[in-house]
Chain A
Amino acid sequence: MTHQEVHARLRERFGDAIHEWQAPEAGPVGAESFRTYIQIAPEALHDVCAMLRDDSGLRFDFLRLISSVDRMECLSSVYHLYSYTHHHEAVIRVDLDRGNPRVASVAGLWPAAEWHERESFDMMGIVYEGHPYLRRILLPEDWAGHPLRKDYVAPKEYNGLTNE
């Protein structure tokens, strides 16, 4: 199934919670295109993902990656999915409020999400609601701030260690 067909399938069921399809911009080399993702409303994320995983025509059984992106006007959480059954892929994106970034956890659907969401929480401060163990993963527990945010300022000192 192509990316656009996946999008149509989701829109059929979830309507306006799935944003309109944006035609991918053609890349510099011929038809090779990039920037394709399916943007959805954050409230619908869990239901959409459940359908992506369980629908027999979609069957996205492999969660490749969850990335968090700071776009200044919002934070996004991006999900790269792949299906070993049908060998097709999809990219799901939700945009979250920068002041209070909260979205449902998908760790119940793909256990692989557990660590990805923890990393994303650690680095970008996105709160995944319903996550079984949402703690910092790479940084120490008492670290302040979320370093991958664009407005993050690295501290001069941490527990008596200085970077000067």
Chain B
Amino acid sequence: MKKEHQDSLRTEELLINMGPQHPSTHGVLRLVVRTDGEMVRETWPQIGFLHRCFEKIAESLNYAQVIPYTDRMDYLGSMNNAVAFCLAVEKLGGFEVPERASYIRVIMAELNRIASHLIAFGTYALDLGAITPFLYGFREREMIVSILEKVSGGRLLYHYPRIGGVARDVTPELVNETRVFLRQMRKVWPEYNTLLSENQIFVKRTANVGVISREKAISWGLTGPCLRGSGVAFDLRKQHPYSLYERFSFDVPYGQGLKGTVGDCWDRYWVRMVEMMESCKIIEQAINGLPEGPFMNKVSRGFDLPAGEVYVPCENPRGELGFYIISDGGSKALRIKARAPSFCNLSITNEICKSVLLADVVAILGSIDIVLGEVDR
């Protein structure tokens, strides 16, 4: 090509703003993207639009009062958040939890995990231009939401786990309803795969895109499906069980590069899909073995925790949620720090969005599956 032609074809770098109000960013996330034609050179995620000072507020409340605030962090996994917080307080305070309560927590947490993954499944398809899976995902999610509503009174934010147990007992009718849901979920799961997982357009958009190597995933502190998608079979429920998870048998799915490379978007998506089935296994075992007994140990309302500090990590739908609680001996914490998995998972964005197509940024962000309420806290 002649020199003058080359000059006339030279592209110019362009700064593009994605968000804060952009449907594919799942909330209020602003991405500043430096592009060269269709290629992305650099991305700067701008976060904080949903910052509600969780950690500051938590210092001015007693422990029981903090639980509803944890619900509002990852609002798609409210049960899981509250369970994690209660476990941390219980460990520091030495409170015992009845066996039945632990089982109920497992059931609710796993139901919530499925509900969360169903949204991840639906919105991910939505990001990539398919509307139908979203509607199917919400159909099944509605069944879970109805179960959780009956047990807690809320459809999104439950405030159900309490320090020392759970707020209300589950009834036999509710157990039956859960069984009906499990049957339905197992029936439609293969349909999801026909509809989306095996869909050639979907595979072309996600396989070999946004590959995160095992080493990168670990050094950037990714957890949950993002870590497992990169081929690390690590699940806190398995390796460091809490809340009696050691009693249930389930597998830990991890990325194997079935459609492309280990650690690509499809692998992360697939880990979530398989996890839904594993959660069904856990729920089934838990409702079959649900022990009789109290669902709550009475803990006085305004208790003091002994001075000390504790960090309790739990496996949330999005990864490791941990509460680091430092107590100076009073009824309020000196400091409560939440390790939010979405925050850590999002930090890798710039690293994997170098030299990808602009349209792939949406595919990559969707596969990380963030909830901005938790990123910003």
Contact = CB atoms under 8 A, between A and B. Distances in A.
A123 B57 CA distance: 13
B126 interface: no
Interface in B360-377: 376-377
Interface stretch (B131-139, B188-196, B202-210, B320-328): B320-328
A61 B218 contact: yes
B47 interface: yes
* Chain B interface SS verdict (over half): mixed
Nearest to A140: B48
A27 B94 contact: yes
A65 B324 contact: yes
A71 B343 CA distance: 25
A64 B10 CA distance: 44
Interface in A78-130: 78, 80, 84, 87, 91, 110-112, 114-116, 119, 123
B48 A70 contact: no
A14 interface: no
B56 A111 contact: no
Given A112-B347, A138-B376, A123 B94 contact: no
Interface residues of A, number: 36
A80 B324 contact: yes
B221 interface: yes
A84 B337 contact: no
A84 B376 contact: no
A17 to B, nearest CB: 22
A62 B220 CA distance: 8
Given A67-B324, A78-B324, A137-B47, A35 B308 contact: yes
Contacts of A29: 94, 96
Given A34-B91, A35-B309, A70 B335 contact: yes
A112 B221 CA distance: 5
B94 A147 contact: no
B347 A32 contact: no
Contacts of A78: 324
A51 interface: no
A110 B347 CA distance: 12
A34 B335 contact: no
Interface in B276-317: 306-311, 313
B218 A84 contact: yes
A67 B325 CA distance: 11
Contact of A138 (B47, B93, B310): B47
Contact of A148 (B55, B221, B306, B343): B55
B219 A110 contact: yes
A148 B56 CA distance: 6
Given A64-B311, A139-B51, 11 more contacts: A28-B94, A34-B310, A64-B313, A65-B339, A80-B324, A80-B339, A111-B219, A114-B347, A138-B377, A147-B53, A148-B55
20 contacts: A25-B308, A27-B308, A29-B96, A34-B91, A34-B92, A34-B310, A63-B221, A64-B339, A65-B324, A65-B337, A69-B326, A78-B324, A80-B322, A80-B339, A84-B218, A111-B219, A111-B347, A115-B346, A138-B47, A138-B48
